[in-house]
Structure 1
């Protein structure tokens, strides 16, 4: 099991996604916990590292947990994505590990990881992702 935290940031029916250097697939911003980190600490650190903005701790809200086959891993290795919404301060910009930021809609579902596809489906069914 690969345990990850993700930031769901939607604006006007589109969701912020990132593409890492050397990858073709888009992923929601976030990543793995470091030893001793809480979900909130991981979210703040990962978003700052990837997007150069600061998550406002008081605005963090749970948005669901999703599981799917991990991309590029052996069959049976599952990624669990614990998702949160949150407000931020600063200007969104790709960091050194991110090649591209993109605002994706439901039509872009085939461009994202397997677990992100489940999140896209959920958000689309809820009327949040157009």
Structure 2
């Protein structure tokens, strides 16, 4: 009952929903603060918490919460050359994105990343060279408001020539100036 009350009082209709049993109230509050979906009451609660502990809700965001219907979980391969990042564009899409695959339950991050880069580019990554970059979240493209896309990013050395699968229209190397052409989760954290 409390989750429904918080969803009504603290977030607007497009907000990230409270109620994931694995997530703290402060974490959900922080996600809504990042999305800009707090109501006046939600902003007041956040300000009170900030007085006690500066940036409390933002620092409380738990990126390790198990995915739910409100969080789409991906693993991404970050490839940078000459200060440009490797990105893709699908047929019939109007934005670019960093190469990624859906997290596979039961697989390690390296297994999922290895499978997705093989499927997308027909290349092999050296899993011993994988280095963690970070975890990023934002509103998911094409999904109803409050549905987040979470991307856990790694770099890794690859073997082979990049050859996109048939669903990919274009491989591009983008710079910071091109960030407006990226999907929201990538552009927020680019």
Q: TM-score with structure 2 length normalisation?
A: 0.61
1:50 is paired with a residue whose SS is helix
| Structure 1: gaps of 5 or more residues | 121-130
In the TM superposition, what are the counterparts of 1:1-130 in structure 2 within 5 Å? 1-120=71-190
Distance 1:37 1:22 in 2: 30
TM superposition outliers: structure 1 runs of 4+ over 4 Å = none
Normalized per residue, which structure has more helix?
2
Q: TM-score with structure 1 length normalisation?
A: 0.88
Q: How many residues align?
A: 120
2:105 is paired with a residue whose SS is coil
Distance 2:166 2:111 in 1: 21
- Measured on the aligned residues, the alpha-carbon RMSD in Å equals 0.9
> Higher relative contact order by CA 8 Å / sep ≥ 6: 1 or 2?
1
CA shift digits 1:67-107 (9 cap, x unpaired): 10000100100011000000000001111121110000011
